[in-house]
Structure 1
Amino acid sequence: MAGPFEALMAHERETQALGQVAGRLAWDQETVMPRGAAAQRAEEAAAMEAVLHARRLDPQVADWLDAAEEAAPDDEVVQASLREIRRAVERARKVPGPLAAALARVTALAQGAWAQARAEDDFAAFAPVLAEVLTLKREEGAALANGAEVYDALLQDYEPGASADGLEAMFGAMRPRLVALRETVASEAQTLDATFDEAAQLTLAREVAVAFGYDLTRGRIDRAVHPFSSGSGADVRITTRTDPRDPFNCLYSTIHETGHACYEQAVDPAFALGPLGRGVSMGVHESQSRIYENQLGRSRAFCGWLFGRMRERFGAFGVADEDEFYRVVNAVRAGFIRTEADEVQYNLHVLLRFDLERALIAGDLAPEDLEEAWNARFLADFGYPVPKASLGCLQDVHWSVGLFGYFPTYTLGNVYAGCLHAALRRDLPDLDAALAEGDPSPATAWLRERVQRHGALHEPREVITRACGAAPAEGPLLDYLEAKFGAL
C-alpha cells in the first residue's frame, strides 16, 4: 500500500497534468485559435480552473500533507515538495472557487479584447474590461492577504518571499545609476535600413534557439502578438514575432524565450509533473531569459558570429563589420516598447509599470485614468511623449490576463542575471572563444547545473545564492551595464 507521500504525489501528478492541459489552452488561444472561439474558450478555461481548484481542496490532501511531513522530516526533496503543495493548497483555501473560475473566464475574454483594442489603438474600448479584471484581482488579493498588504499577496504568485517595500528599495537604488548611464551613453547609433525576409528570420531564429540548447523534439516555435514561453518537462513551447524591417525583434525575442524554455526542459526529470518540476519563480525564470538574451546573446563575441550568419542569410544589409554590428545591436536610443528596449533603459520601463500597477491595485489610480497616467509618467521618465496607446499602456498583455505583480520580476530577473553572469565569467574565463563560434554551451551548461536542474527545490533567493556564492544584489548588474556601455 502506498504511503501518504506517495499517495499525495500521485494526486499532485494528476493535478499538474491537468494544469498543463489548461496551459495548452492558453497557448492555443495566443497562436492558432480562431477569433470567434473566444467566448467558448473562456468557458473552457473557467471549467478547467474549477476542476483544479477542487483538486487542491480535496480533504485528503491535508491529511496526506501532515502525515508525510512527520514521516520524512530530513528528506530535502520530500520537504520541498510538501512546501510547494502546502503553498498551493493554502492559496486555494483562501480564494473561493467561484472567484477562481470567474477570473479564468474574464481574463480569457479580456485577452481578446486587449488584442483588438491594441490593434485599433483604442484604450477607451479596453478600459471597462480592465476594470472588470481589476475588480476580481483586488478581491483575490484581499482574500490572499487576509488583512495584510494586497499587492504583496499577489506578488507571491510570481516571486515567493518578495515584498513591494523590498523591491521598491532595490529599484530606488538602481534608478539613479540607470538614469545617469542613459544620459551618458544615449546615442543616434546606426539603424538597419533593409528588408529582411520573415521566413528567413524564423529559420535563423530556430538555428539560434537550438544553439542555445532548446530541444525541438520537446518544443516548437510559433508566432504570436506577444512572445511567450509555455509548458514544462516534455512539452515546452515558445513563440516569437517577425518584422521585415527589424530582424532583431525576432532573433532576440527567440533567444529570450529560449532561456525560459531551456530552464523548464532542464529540470530534473525525476521532478516531472510534480511540485518541483518547474521554475521556482518568475524572477529566477527571467534571470535565465535575460542572461541568454543579453549577457550572452548581445555580447561582442556572439554578435561577431551572428553578424556572419545574417550576412549568409540576408546578404549585405548596410552594416560594415562585426564591430559596427555590435554597436547596432546594443544601441541606446529612444523607444517606447519594453520588449525592444536596450539593456540600459529596459528596467526604467519595468519600474514605470511596477508603480502604476501598485496604484491600480491600491485604488489610487482608476482604470479609466491609466492611459493618462502612463503617458505622464513616460514623458517624465523618458523625455518624449507617447503617440498612441499601442506604444503605451496597451503594449503588454499582462494586465488583461490578470498578471498583477508579474512586472517587477523582470527587473528582479535582471538583478539575478547580473549576479549569475559575474559568477559565470569567474568560472569560465575562456567563454568568449566559444561564443565567437556561435556556441553558448559552456555558459548554458553552467546555468543548467547551477540553476535549472533544481527546479523548485530551493526558494528563489537561495537558488541565486547557491549558484553565485553570495546573496543577490543589484551591484553586479549595474557594474556590468556601466562597463559594457561605457566602453561602447
Structure 2
Amino acid sequence: MTAFDDLMTFQRDTQALTEIAGRLAWDQETVMPEGAGPQRADEVAAIEKVLHARRTDPKLAAWLDAIEPDALSPVDAAQIREIKRAQARAQKVPVELSTAIARATSAGQRKWADARARDDFAAFQPVLAEIVALRREEAAALAGDGDLYDALLDDYEPGASGKDIQAMFDVMRPRLVKLRDAALGATYQPEGVTGNFPADAQMALSDKLANRFGYDLAHGRIDKAVHPFSSGSGLDVRITTRTEADDPFNCFYSTIHEVGHACYEQNVDRAYLLTPIGRGASMGLHESQSRIYENQLGRSRAFIGWLFGQMEQQFGQAPASDQDAFFATVNRLQKGYIRTEADEVQYNLHIMMRFDLERRLFAGELDAADMEEAWNDRFEKDFGYKIDRAANGVLQDVHWAIGLFGYFPTYSLGNVYAGCLYDALCADMPDLDAGLSKGDATHATGWLADKVQRHGALYAPQEMIKLATGTSVSVEPLLSYLETKFTEIYRL
C-alpha cells in the first residue's frame, strides 16, 4: 500500500461516518419521535467529535508529506485538495467548539420547528443567540485577520467572498426590481390558484414528477418535512417535500427542486463513492441543478403543458382555464412572504435581504435579539408590505436554527450558474421542448449529468461552469432569461 492508498482507505471511513451523521439529520426532520431531541443532540455531537478527530489525525499529515504531488493524476490531486481543505479547517476549530455547535444546532432544529408552529420568536431567540455566539467563535477561529462572514461563506462556496456577492447583487437588484414592478403593475394579471388538492394526490403526482426528472427511487425516497431538503450521496439520496391543500405547486416545485439536488448526488461518478470528491462541488453548484430543474425546465411552457394534463387526470381539475392561462398561473408574480414559494423574479430579492442581515449580524451590527425587528423592517422596505406573523418572517427558514450562516448567497449563485447552464443547454439541444412537452426531462437532465453532475467535486465551482458552458460566469444569461419570459407572460 502506498501513502496515497492508506490515506484514501482512512478517508473512506471518514466519508462513511459523515454520511451516517447526515442520516441522523434526515431522521430528525422526518420520523424521529418528538421526545428524542435531547438524546439526538448528544448523538450528533458524539459523531462530530469522532469526525473532528479523524480530520485532525496526525497520520493525515504523515501520509500527505509522503505523497509526491507531481505523480498524482488530476482526480487524485483533487482528492488531496479536498482532504487538505477539510484538515486545515478542522485544525483551526477546537473540538469542544465543533461538538458544541453540532449539539446546539441539532437541538435548535426542533426548537425552531416548535417556535415556528406557535409564531413565537421570543421562545426561539435564546436558541438563536447561542447558535450565533458559537458560529461567531468558529468564524473568528477560521478567519484569523480576515472577514468573519467570508470564513463562513467559504464553507459553502469555496473562493467566494461577501464583496463579490455584493457586487453581483448590485447589478441584479435594479433590473429585478424594475421587472417586478412592471409585472405587478401590468394590465394583464394571471389567474390565481383555486381549488382543493388532496395531499395523497399531490404526493402521487410528486412521485411521478420525480421520476420524470430522473430521480432513482431505488436509491432514494420521498418524505414530508416542515422545510423541504435533500440528504445523502451516492447510493442513498433522500428528499422531502410538503403539501398544502390550496397550493399544489408548493409540493410539486419543492419536489422538483430537491430532485435537482438529489440527481446531482446520484449521478456523481461511482468511482468517487465515499471519497472527498464524491459529492457536489459547492452549494452554489448544487443550487444551479435544483433551480434549473425547478425553473428553466419545470416552469417552462413546454413542460407545463404536460403538467396541465396531469393535474386534470389526478385532481379532475387544473387551477386555470387552459394551458396558456396555466403557464401564466404557475409563473405568476404575487405578493408573498415565503422565500421557497417566491416566483423567479422576486426570489433573489429574498436572498439579498438575508445576505445583508447575516453580514450585519457577523459584523456585530445586529444581535440575535434584534433579528425579528430587523427582518420586519427590511422586508417592508424591500417588498412594500408588512410581515403579518413570525412564521412568515424571521422563523420561516430553518437555516439559522441549524447554523447555516453564509449559506443563503449560494441560492442566488445557483440561479446565476443555472442561467449560464441553460444558455448552453439550449444551444446544444435546440429540440429541448419536444421532450419537455411530453413530460420527459431526461434529455435535459442527462446533459446536466454529463456536463456537471458526474464530476462531483473534481473541479472548483466557477471552473466547472466554464468547462460546462465554454464561458465565464455572468449574471446576464439569468437576467435576460427572466426579462424575456416575464415580458411575454405579462404582455409588457
TM-score, normalising length from structure 2? 0.98
Which residue identity lines up with residue 131 of structure 1 in the other structure? A
Which residue identity lines up with residue 472 of structure 2 in the other structure? A
Look up the match of 1:21: 20
The size of the alignment, in residue pairs, is 486
Conserved 8 A contact 1:69-1:79: no
Conserved 8 A contact 1:227-1:253: yes
Per-residue deviation at 1:64?
1.1
1:80 to 78, 81, 84: 78
Which residue identity lines up with residue 383 of structure 1 in the other structure? G
Question: Displaced runs of 4+ in structure 1, greater than 4 A?
Answer: none
Equivalent positions of 1:171-250 (< 5 A) are 171-186=169-184, 188-250=189-251
SS state at 2:238 partner: strand
Residue 142 of structure 2 is aligned to residue 144 of structure 1 = yes
Inter-partner Cα distance in structure 2 for 1:318 and 1:410: 29
The CA deviation string for residues 344-384 of structure 1, in whole angstroms up to 9 with x for no partner, is: 00000000000001111111111111111111110010000
Cα separation, partners in 2 of 1:307 and 1:141, compared to 1, 3 Å: same
Which residue identity lines up with residue 246 of structure 1 in the other structure? D
Look up the match of 1:57: 56
2:167 to 153, 166, 169: 169
| Structure 1: segments with no counterpart, 5+ residues | none
Conserved 8 A contact 1:49-1:100: yes
TM-score, normalising length from structure 1? 0.99
Per-residue deviation at 1:70?
3.5
Conserved 8 A contact 1:256-1:293: yes
Per-residue deviation at 1:63?
1.4
Per-residue deviation at 1:386?
0.3
Conserved 8 A contact 2:69-2:77: no
Residue 306 of structure 2 is aligned to residue 308 of structure 1 = no
Per-residue deviation at 1:338?
0.2
Equivalent positions of 1:2-21 (< 5 A) are 2-21=1-20
Look up the match of 1:283: 284
The CA deviation string for residues 4-63 of structure 1, in whole angstroms up to 9 with x for no partner, is: 111000000000000000000000000000110000000000000000000011111111
Which residue identity lines up with residue 468 of structure 1 in the other structure? T
2:109 to 108, 111, 128: 111
Identity %: 62
Per-residue deviation at 1:103?
0.3
Conserved 8 A contact 1:189-1:333: no
Look up the match of 1:415: 416
Per-residue deviation at 1:318?
4.6
Look up the match of 2:397: 396
The CA deviation string for residues 255-291 of structure 1, in whole angstroms up to 9 with x for no partner, is: 0000000000000000000011000000000000000
Look up the match of 1:120: 118
Inter-partner Cα distance in structure 2 for 1:148 and 1:418: 31
Conserved 8 A contact 1:279-1:455: yes
SS state at 2:365 partner: coil
| Structure 2: segments with no counterpart, 5+ residues | none
The CA deviation string for residues 224-249 of structure 1, in whole angstroms up to 9 with x for no partner, is: 00000000000000000001111000
The CA deviation string for residues 44-92 of structure 1, in whole angstroms up to 9 with x for no partner, is: 000000000000111111111222243624x101110000000000000
Inter-partner Cα distance in structure 2 for 1:72 and 1:307: 56
Inter-partner Cα distance in structure 1 for 2:194 and 2:471: 44
Equivalent positions of 1:320-339 (< 5 A) are 320-339=321-340
Which residue identity lines up with residue 13 of structure 1 in the other structure? R
Inter-partner Cα distance in structure 1 for 2:118 and 2:204: 30
Conserved 8 A contact 1:196-1:244: yes
Inter-partner Cα distance in structure 2 for 1:345 and 1:246: 18
Q: How well do the aligned residues superpose, as a CA RMSD in angstroms?
A: 0.8
SS state at 1:256 partner: helix
Residue 253 of structure 2 is aligned to residue 252 of structure 1 = yes
Inter-partner Cα distance in structure 2 for 1:373 and 1:411: 21
Per-residue deviation at 1:317?
4.0
Which residue identity lines up with residue 160 of structure 2 in the other structure? A
Inter-partner Cα distance in structure 2 for 1:111 and 1:207: 30
Conserved 8 A contact 1:72-1:78: no
Q: Which moved more, 1:182-191 or 1:475-484?
A: 182-191
SS state at 1:231 partner: strand
Conserved 8 A contact 1:267-1:454: yes
Look up the match of 2:46: 47
Inter-partner Cα distance in structure 2 for 1:99 and 1:198: 42
